[in-house]
Amino acid sequence: MAMLRRSPSAGRFAEGRYRELRSHWRRRISRRLLLLVAITWTTWLLVSWLGDGWVRWYGGFMLGAFVMMAVAVWTTPPESIQRWGAGAEGERRTARELKALERRGWHMTHDLDWPGAGNIDHLVIGTGGIFVIDSKAWNGVVSVDDAGATITPRDDADRAWTERGQRNHQIRAARAVARALAARSGAAVPAPHSVVAVWAPFPQRVAVSGDVTYVAGDQLTDWLHSRPRQLSREQVALASVAVGADLLSEALPA
């Protein structure tokens, strides 16, 4: 029997991107931070030398406060970078949630490279069918309608925004997976289902927009397990053997 290929760890792509962007951002701000620290340190030394009593105390307090502020800046990159870190954690949470299905004979592959289009977070194959899952750890309350997913920050409703490209990306991903699985296994496979696992407040819990189903992350396992049977266990095993980290190495991004 052919051996199952080892799946990459969930969140690998997003975590790598987060670290890359954070490192680049830190290089950009490091000189300015060092210059400000040097100026503040020099000022404190002068104050300590020339002043006494409360002047020295106040200078020391200001130096400590500035150092704490500099550390906070260093460890808190911009929100656009933090989203990659949150995304990686969302993928890891999805992987942990899906563990229960592995014990029921389902097959999971995480972080599939998709040349020209980034990656696919999770590919799940089980008796309920084939599922291409994208994990989203959005910062805000999520609502889904025909336009897609709208994210409303809790502290600023005026900054609500709609993720309009998600459906197109998921549909393209499902088609790429279907082509690759059929080519590698030599057998017809059912059309994969496009799913978004939502790790954010999501009152609807499950909602459909176009051909994409949005499911609350902590409900994902139960939702998948409740899908009507599409594959036998033998078909699941056959499709699973065809999956590997290089599954989409020859798939077109569109």
Of 31-40, 108-117, 142-151, 160-169, minimum mean pLDDT range? 31-40
Note the pLDDT of residue 239.
Answer: 83
Comparing C-alpha atoms, which of 117, 171, 128, 130 is closest to residue 148? 171
Lowest mean pLDDT among 26-30, 110-114, 180-184: 26-30
Domain ranges of the chain: 1-254
Residue of 244, 215, 246 whose CA lies nearest to 107: 244
pLDDT at 28 over 60: yes
Name beta bridge partners: 123: 109, 132
Radius of gyration from C-alpha coordinates of the chain: 24
Between 88-97, 119-128, 180-189, the lowest mean confidence (pLDDT) is in 180-189
Confidence of residue 254 (pLDDT cuts 50, 70, 90): very low
Q: What is the pLDDT of residue 171?
A: 85
The residue that leads in pLDDT, 145 or 84, is 145
Which pLDDT tens digit goes with each residue over 125-155? 999 999 999 999 998 999 999 989 999 998 8
Could you give the percent of the chain with pLDDT greater than 70?
71
Mean pLDDT of 147-165: 87
Q: Whole-prediction pTM value?
A: 0.74
* Residue-averaged pLDDT of the chain: 80
Which pLDDT value is given to residue 6?
44
Contacts of residue 213, Cβ cutoff 8 Å, sequence gap at least 6:
193, 194, 195, 196, 206, 207
pLDDT of 5 reads 43
Confirm if 94 and 197 have CB atoms less than 8 A apart. yes
pLDDT for 204 equals 97
Q: What is the pLDDT of residues 33-66, one digit of tens each?
A: 777 777 776 776 666 666 666 666 666 666 666 6
Q: What is the mean pLDDT of residues 88-92?
A: 83
Residues in the chain: 254
First to last CA, the chain: 33
